[in-house]
Amino acid sequence: MSALLQVDGLSLGFGDAPDVVHGATFSLEAGQSLGLLGASGSGKSLSALAVLGLLPEACQWRGGRVLFDGQDLALLDAGARRALCGASIGLVFQEPFTALNPLLRVGDQIAEGLRLHKGLDRAAADREAAAWLERVGLAPGASRARQYPHQFSGGMRQRALLAMALACGPRLLICDEPTTALDATVQAQMLELLRRLQRDLGFALLMISHDLAVIRAVAGRAVVMEAGQVVEAGAVDSILQDPQSGAARRLMDAYAVL
Amino acid sequence: MSELLRAQGLVKDFKVPKQVGWWGSDSVRALDHVDLSVAEGETLAVVGESGSGKTTLGRSLLWLDPVDEGTVTFEGKDLAKLAGRDLRRMRRDLQMVFQDPYASLDPRLPARDVVTETLTAHSKLSGDALETAARGLMQKVGLDPAMLDRHAHAFSGGQRQRLAIARAIATKPRLIVADEPVSALDLELQVQILELLKQLRREMNLTLVFITHDLKLVRGFCQRMIVMKDGRIVEQGAVEQVFKSPQHPYTQELLAAILPLPVMRARG
């Protein structure tokens, strides 16, 4: 059985500089969770952008393949890729304050994707958007949908982004440091929400973070990246108890100090 | 331990505009009759989430923003009654490390100007003596003095916080308020910066007020803690005691929100 997401020997770089991602390999089965652990600059976010086809223009694809549901993403044209990613892969970024358009009502931003990727008409999309806001704990959905992002707190904006990412029913959700900017209790609630939604909807989850505790809250397995390479892979608790790579060991040493 | 800083009955209100579409303003009480005592040599944690009033408290302790009611005394002197030269002199003893390394340093300033900012304001050092002081400060915070010429924007987040710490210790203060000094950093860097602060407080006999929303940083770094919610202190005590046996439901909620991570302690 082939994995839902297969990244094989991915190498990326800029200009004449050495690879910023080098030979990265990892895979994710349908409905499963995988953590991508690494410090800032480890290449974890770029790897995720490669999956989504959202690499900056200056970034060169120097090797390897990304297969989603058996399809080589590099062989799709821009339109096919957009259609695939919009409908099948959802993304939640780190920055709740910049990922939402401040000039549009929250409900409209969710409805936009529904009209584009699921072909719903305006009324149906608006209803569905309101329902999604309630699903992520932002009730009453209809009035929340009419509000603007600046009227939401940081935690509420992340919930709205989650709703936006899941509304089209993706089979894979990629979260990149989704809770880093949030207070501890808000972070815990957000991760609990993510776990519940994954149970109910069955999407595969790729959780990218520098914090192994965040990964552990949603995934049982993880790969560790450092300086663009995958340096360790395995069960999260194995990495915790018996880290093999320098990167994981340094992180465990840091936790032990606290 | 003698009392170094005492705050009594602090009240601070902020005006905020009403909801979109309405004229006028509402009032938000950021500090609601807060009493606090900081003993010399201790590291006190001020724990709270966004909107708890912890940053307002930190700034009020240093008399950076006026309060509407209440007093702050440092070494028995009422800060409200100090003016001019006395107030400036007091500022040498009370310093702050701010939250955002990307906002609290002027990115166009060379590192040299950043770390000597407080010395320039509070001392008569200049020329060679100032340069020597700058080099010493860089070394003290673990940065290469050769980087003094580099502009602040060329430093990473962790390095910028080291510059901010260098700036804060330059006048050999008695007390430093550190407002979320590591929140913007990865965990490994957080621990490195806290280790640096531990070393500096030992070497310089510093009293620290450590403001944070991240409880997991508190246990290894602070002896005493207060928990703030909606401008009030809801719990306080020795860190070990509060962690073992939290009394207030909000404290219990904060502790429960710490994500579990069963790491083996005392490794290597």
d(CA A37, CA B187): 12
Hey, of B191, B197, B229, B251, which one would you mutate to test binding to chain A, going by the most A CBs within 10 A of its CB?
A: B191
How large a percentage of chain A has pLDDT more than 90?
71
pLDDT value, residue B19:
65
Condensed to tens digits (0 to 9), the pLDDT of residues A24-41 reads 999 999 999 999 999 988
Look at residue A162 and tell me whether its pLDDT is greater than 60. Answer: yes
Which DSSP helix (H) or strand (E) runs through B253? helix B249-256
pLDDT of residue B20: 65
Q: How far apart, in whole angstroms, are the C-alpha atoms of residue B108 and residue B122? A: 22
The beta-carbon neighbor of B188 closest among A39, A191, A237 is: A39
Chain A: residue whose CA lies nearest to B158: A40
B185: distance to nearest CA of chain A, Å? Answer: 9
Tell me what pLDDT residue B143 has: 96
Residue-level pLDDT at B266:
47
Tens digit of each residue's pLDDT (9 = 90 or more) over A44-70: 999 998 988 888 889 999 999 999 988
Residue A210: list chain B partners with CB under 8 A.
186-187
Contact by Cβ (8 Å): A198, A218: yes
Average pLDDT, chain A: 91
Q: Which of A214, A240, A251 sits opposite B259 (nearest CB)?
A: A214
Mean pLDDT, residues A91-103: 79
Give long-range contacts, CB 8 A cutoff, 24+ apart: B108-112.
B108/B151, B108/B152, B108/B153, B109/B151, B109/B152, B110/B148, B110/B149, B110/B150, B110/B151, B110/B152, B111/B138, B111/B143, B111/B147, B111/B148, B111/B149, B111/B150, B111/B151, B111/B152, B111/B155, B111/B163, B112/B148, B112/B149
User: Residues A132-146: what's their mean pLDDT?
Assistant: 94
Residue B260, pLDDT score: 86
Q: Which residues in chain A are closer than 8 Å to B268, comparing Cβ atoms?
A: 253
Domain A5-95+171-257, CATH 3.40.50.300 — does that match?
yes
Residues of A (176-205) whose Cβ lies below 8 Å from B: 183-188, 191
pLDDT at B16: 80
- The interface residues of chain A toward chain B in range 229-258, judged by CB-CB distance below 8 A, are 237, 240-241, 250-258
Nearest Cα neighbor of B183 from B100, B240, B125 is B100
Q: What is the pLDDT of residue A200?
A: 96
Give me the residue from A148, A185, A252 closest to B263, CB to CB.
A252
Range in A72-76, A226-230, B233-237 with the lowest mean pLDDT: A72-76
A64 Cβ neighbours under 8 A, 6+ residues apart: A7, A8, A9, A10, A11, A23, A24, A25
Residues in chain B within 8 Å Cβ distance of A207: none
CB of A134 within 8 A of CB of A141?
yes
Q: Using pLDDT thresholds of 50, 70 and 90, give the confidence band for residue A84.
A: confident
More confident residue, A97 or B118: B118
Place of tokens 């920055």: A95
Confidence check: pLDDT of A202 > 60: yes
Mean pLDDT of A128-152: 94
* B128 inside 8 A of chain A by CB: no
Longest dimension (CA), chain B: 63
Parallel, antiparallel, or unpaired for β A204-209 and A172-176? parallel
Contact (CB<8Å) A212/B195: no
> CA–CA separation, B69 vs B58, rounded Å?
15
Contact B215 A184 (CB under 8 A): yes
- Provide the residue count of chain B: 268
Q: What is the pLDDT at residue B267?
A: 44
Query: Which residues in chain A have Cβ-Cβ distances shorter than 8 Å to B265?
Result: 256
Q: Which fold has domain B3-18+25-104+174-251?
A: Rossmann fold (3.40.50)
Q: Mind listing the pLDDT tens digit for each residue in B9-33?
A: 999 999 887 766 677 778 889 999 9
The domain locations on chain A are: 5-95+171-257
Name residues of chain B where pLDDT drops below 70: 19-21, 264-268
Buried b (16+ CB within 10 A) or exposed e, A139-154: eebeebbebebeebeb
Q: What is the pLDDT of residue B268?
A: 40
